[in-house]
Every structure is written in structure tokens, then in C-alpha cells.
Amino acid sequence: MASPGLLLLLLLMALPPLGSYLLPGLDTAKSKATIADLILSALERATVFLEQRLPEINLDGMVGVRVLEEQLKSVQEKWAQEPPLQPLSLRVGMLGEKLEAAIQRSLLYLKLSDPKYLREFQLTLQPGFWKLPHAWIHTNASLVYPTFQPQDSLSEESSDACLVQLLGTGTDSSEPCGLSDLCRSLMTKPGCSGYCLSHQMLFFLWARMRGCTQGPFQQSQDYINLFCANMMDLNHRAEAIGYAYPTQDIFMENIMFCGMGGYSDFYKLRWLEAILSWQKQREGCFGEPDGCSSHNTATAVAALGGFLYILADYPPANREPHPSTPPPPSSH
């Protein structure tokens, strides 16, 4: 059998010129099934790796697994309705069951290793916390910052503290949607790049998942537009330098978060191809040039799950596509 990379390449060549969007080119059930099969195979192999590493996967990693499971649930239901895709639907269902078991086992490990962190963030591992996008939009390049701040100036500690306030899971508060002045300024500060930017995006994404709509959260969509426009710009830059290590992790995190935010332009076929090519054939993992990273693998599966989700969310060939916004004029 041809290697997945080769198969995808052949498929890409067989398709009509694509533009840079995944969606419009995939107009036959057959090409859809072929790509779905490639993604699913990658996810199945990555899942074997994650299952073996369960005791060492931290909560952030399990969040990626939960996101994937939500995506799979939706894909399974959609494809169960389409006879040509029913075999894939069954595979998706089996993978979902494996992931659910893995999450439950992982909770036991997390309870032992870091009970405080688990108490604060367990909510984000619950079924139904992550709500999938049902309307698709595009990023707006005119929102890209003229320059980025030189430093990633959002520490993990302050970011976590702000997320706990937002979730309302700290010991001093039980009210969700909390936002101190400090957190407000950190989470809306312009000019962030890298993980600083993706954490700002995660903050407003979780605010949406948690149902926060008052005060500054009235502008959540504006901030999300701003952050994802810049995350798109950074992903283009990562691509331009050949995804040199260590940009792959943040590149995939950007796809995971902005994809969950409903930005379909993150789901480019050539980006899918790149991600699939990074998977280590033997271990099924993702990571640095000579190693496996659980975090990297968890981020990769959530990004790949997003590709599968948008593939299933897009109407089949025999129906008229009905995207929520008109297609963009150009490829960027």
C-alpha cells in the first residue's frame, strides 16, 4: 500500500485546484472518504501511543483528547446517516470509546499527581464543556498587529490564575466569569505572539464555553477575531520557515483553538498534509526530531480531529454547500 503521505499527494494532484481552503475542493464523497481515512488512521495510531503514556500525560494533554472525543462524537452521528460513510462512522465510534476509557483512567492518575490542578480544571475535561462550532467564519488579515511584542510576556502562573477565576473553580470563589483588572489587562493586551497569544485566545474561548456574556465578555468575539487573525499570520510565518522546530506545537495549537472558534481558513489541505507528515511512523507520536512528546501528540490529535469535524460538517457532494459566510476573495 502507498504510504499515507504519498496517497495524500496523489489525491491532492487529482483534485481540482484548491485555493488554500480545505472545503471547496472536497466535492466528492470519495475524496472525502479518502482524506477521512488518512486522518482516522493517524488518530488511531496516535491513540495507541497516548494509551501507553497515560500515567505521564498532564491535564492539558487530556484536554486535547477530550476535544478530539467531542469532535468524533459529532462526526460519528453525521456519517451514520450517510450509507457510503457508515464504515468510517463505526471506526470513529470505536476510537471515541477508546478515548473515553483513556480519559477516565487518566483522571485517576491526575487525582494522584496534582489534585489541586485537577480540581481547578476538571470542568474542561467534562463531556459537553467544549462546544463545537456550527457556523464557519474566516480570519480578517487587516487585524494583524503591525508588530509583535518581542517577549512572550504571559506567565503560565498568571494565565492559570486568570483561567481559574474565569471558570470559577478556585477556593475563594464559586462564581464563574470572574475577571480581575490584572487578568483583563493580561488577556486583552495587544501584540502577543506564540503561547501568550494562544492563551489569550483560550481565555476568551473558555469564556464562551462557560457562557460568560457580561461586561468585557460582550466583546469576546472581537477579541477572538483579533487573536485568530494574528494566529493565522503566525501560522503563515511558521509555514514560510518550513515549520522549523519548535514551531510545530504552537502551529497545531493555533489550529486547534481557532478551529474550535469556527475559523475554517485554518483547515487548509496543505496544513493537514504537513501535520500528517510529522507523525512518527513507528511510535504514532508527534514531537521533536528525535523524540515523542505527549503534549505535542495531544495537540496534534485535537487539530486533526478538527479537520475530520469540518470534513463531516461540510455538506456532501449531492447537496448545495451552504457556508455561513461567502467564500473569501483570495487564498489568504
- Confirm or reject binding of residue 140 to ligand NAG (CB under 6 A): yes
Do 138 and 265 meet the contact criterion of CB atoms below 8 Å apart?
Answer: yes
Nearest Cα to Cα of residue 137 among 17, 32, 39, 23 = 23
Binding mask 95-134 for ligand NAG (x = CB under 6 A): ----------------------------------------
- Nearest residue to ligand NAG, by Cβ distance, number only: 140
CB of 140 to ligand NAG, least distance (A): 4
Alpha-carbon distance of 217 to 10, in angstroms, equals 46
Chain-centre distance of CA 325, in angstroms?
A: 21
CB of 306 to ligand NAG, least distance (A): 22
Give the binding range for ligand NAG (CB under 6 A) out of 13-21, 103-111, 136-144, 282-290.
136-144
Beta carbons within 8 Å of 318's beta carbon, 6+ residues apart: none
- Confirm or reject binding of residue 80 to ligand NAG (CB under 6 A): no
- Confirm or reject binding of residue 144 to ligand NAG (CB under 6 A): no
Give the binding range for ligand NAG (CB under 6 A) out of 59-67, 97-105, 138-146, 283-291.
138-146
Pick between residue 142 and residue 185 the one whose CB is nearest to ligand NAG: 142
Following DSSP, what letter does each residue of 4-62 receive, concatenated?
Answer: HHHHHHHHHHHSPP-TT-HHHH--SHHHHHHHHHHHHHHHHHHHHHHHHTGGG--HHHH
- Confirm or reject binding of residue 158 to ligand NAG (CB under 6 A): no
Do 136 and 310 meet the contact criterion of CB atoms below 8 Å apart?
Answer: yes
CB of 131 to ligand NAG, least distance (A): 23
CB of 315 to ligand NAG, least distance (A): 23
Beta carbons within 8 Å of 293's beta carbon, 6+ residues apart: 249, 285, 286, 287
Do 274 and 239 meet the contact criterion of CB atoms below 8 Å apart?
Answer: yes
Compute the half-sphere exposure of residue 43: CA atoms within 13 Å on the CB side of its CA.
32
Give the binding range for ligand NAG (CB under 6 A) out of 7-15, 140-148, 194-202, 265-273.
140-148
- Confirm or reject binding of residue 143 to ligand NAG (CB under 6 A): yes
Give the binding range for ligand NAG (CB under 6 A) out of 26-34, 57-65, 135-143, 235-243.
135-143
Beta carbons within 8 Å of 123's beta carbon, 6+ residues apart: 129, 167, 169
Do 96 and 69 meet the contact criterion of CB atoms below 8 Å apart?
Answer: yes
Alpha-carbon distance of 257 to 205, in angstroms, equals 8
- Confirm or reject binding of residue 330 to ligand NAG (CB under 6 A): no
Residue count, binding to ligand NAG (CB under 6 A)? 3
Out of 1, 2, 128, 142, the only residue in the binding site for ligand NAG (CB under 6 A) is 142
**Which residues here bind ligand NAG, judged by CB under 6 A?**
140, 142-143
